[in-house]
Amino acid sequence: MKIQGILTPNIVPFHDDRSINEGELRRYVSWLIDKGVSGLYPNGSTGEFIRLSFEERKQITAIVADEAAGRVPILAGAAEANIDLVLDACAHCADLGCAAVSVTGPYYYNVSQESIEHYFRELAEKSPIDILLYNIPQFSNEIGVEVVRRLALDCPRIIGIKDSSRDMPRFMNTLAKIKPQRPDFTCLIGCEEILLPSLLMGGDGGTVATSGVAPEAVMKLYHDWQRGDLEEAKRIQFKMLEVIETMFAAGNFPEGFREGVNLRGFNAGRARQPMAPGEMEHFLKIRSKLACLLGDCGFDEAAAHCQRTDHEAPSGLKEQIERIDVETLVREVVGKLNPGQ
Which residues in this chain contact its own copies in the complex, by CB under 8 A?
Answer: 18, 45, 50-54, 81-85, 106-112, 114-115, 117-119, 122, 138-140, 166-169, 172-173, 175-177, 180-181, 191, 193-194, 196-197, 200-202, 230, 234, 237-238, 241-242, 245, 251-253, 272-279, 315-317, 320
Report CA-CA distances (Å) from 15 to 22, 23, 182, 260, 271. Answer: 9, 10, 45, 17, 10
Residue 35 or 289 with smaller CB distance to its own copies: 289
Cβ atoms of 329 and 219 within 8 Å: the answer is: yes
Residue type, 189: I
- Which residue lies nearer to its own copies by CB, 108 or 339? 108
Closest CB to its own copies among 36 and 165?
Answer: 165
Q: Which is nearer to its own copies, 45 or 68 (CB)?
A: 45
Q: How far is the CB of 42 from its own copies (least distance, A)?
A: 16
Cα angle for residues 170, 172, 174 (degrees, 5° grid): 70
| Minimum separation from the CB atom of position 158 to its own copies (A) | 16
- Are 295 and 303 spatial neighbours (Cβ–Cβ below 8 Å)? yes
Which stretches of the chain are DSSP H helices? 22-34, 54-68, 83-95, 113-126, 145-154, 168-178, 195-200, 215-226, 230-249, 255-263, 277-296, 300-303, 316-320, 326-337
Closer of 22 and 242 to its own copies (Cβ)? 242
CB of 160 to its own copies, least distance (A): 18
Q: Indicate the helix (H) or strand (E) that contains 163.
A: strand 158-163
In the complex, what is the shortest distance from the CB of residue 134 to its own copies, in angstroms, rounded to a whole number?
13
Question: Taking the complex as a whole, how short is the minimal distance between the CB of residue 294 and its own copies, in angstroms?
Answer: 17
Q: How far is the CB of 301 from its own copies (least distance, A)?
A: 25
- 5: burial class by Cβ within 10 Å (0-12, 13-18, 19+)? buried
Nearer to its own copies among residue 71 and residue 179 (C-beta): 179
- DSSP H or E run through 186: strand 186-189
